[in-house]
Amino acid sequence: MNMESVKGTIQEIERNIIASKMNSCEDGNSAENSAVVNSLKNTAGKCTKTGTTIVGVKGDTFVILAADTRSTNGPIIADKNISKIHYISDNISCCGAGTAADTRFTTKMAESALKRFNLKYNRIPALSYCVNILKRHLFSYQGHVSASLIVGGVDETGPGLFGVHPHGSVDTLPYTAQGSGSYAAIGVLETEWKKGMQESEAVELACNAIEAGIRNDLYSGSNIDICIIRQNETEVFQKEHRRGFKVIGKKQPREMKYTYPRESIKITKEEVFDLISVTNEMEVEY
């Protein structure tokens, strides 16, 4: 028997010993491990979700972003006036739907990347560069980051509107809607959108789409926020962010007060029950 065969035999024996020890440890701890796993089931708290209706509309020289302001924690309304339109740069903004923490930190990551780009090259970042950062980040997590985004802005090529989905796919559209109320919102957009819309018409269309989502989705509500990003003739970008642009979930006062006299209800039968029985006091000797 040569040395190589001896070494191979020794290594095989060591592997068998290690495997037998691991099996014995697993058999001995299986009950304890199962108890720990079972105790940890269903213990995670519910994350706060934006529950959301977000809309984007693109014009010839502008982009409109709109969102509702309700965030939910399961069936509970966590916040009635949360901002879902996030700042990324002076010429780019982003609407976020999904888990509130994921949308917040994803947009903050893009904001930091574009700020570094501006400091390094001293130029306005392109909208496609921002979308590329977001889609690469989301694709690397394969949908485990619950952030559905609508990115809008104006750069050297003109206005642009992109939908970025949690798995990293990207859509380029003249109008789009995402979130739990997007089914109602996209119906309004497909019906009323037309090419060459003016800014006031696009703002009204975006508000109508958000309102449709609020009316048909329990997880959307409260107010409507809008963000307008314009490109002037001098290539200067202007951004206007209006909080509480339109109030939808306003509490309505009662129309009238109803009072009924006590004799208006006829008593047909009356029974009296003694719920407390009185007994003789006990004598206590000291």
Distance from the first to the final alpha carbon of the chain: 101
Choosing from 9, 48, 52, 53, which is the catalytic residue?
52
Residue 90: half-sphere exposure toward Cβ, Cα within 13 Å: 10
Provide DSSP, 143-159.
T-S-EEEEEEEEETTEE
Q: How many other CB atoms are found less than 10 A from the CB of residue 209?
A: 31
Residue in the block written with tokens 């109508």: 208
Sheet holding 223-231, edge to edge: 175-179, 53-58, 62-68, 223-231, 237-247
**Pairing between β-strand 92-98 and β-strand 147-155 as defined by DSSP bridges:** antiparallel
| Distance from C-alpha of 155 to C-alpha of 66, rounded to nearest angstrom | 20
3-state secondary structure 225-264: EEEEEEECCCCCEEEEEEEEEEECCCCCCCCCCCCCCHHH
Q: State yes or no: is 172 an active-site residue.
A: no
Strand partners, 177: 55
Which residues are known to be catalytic?
52
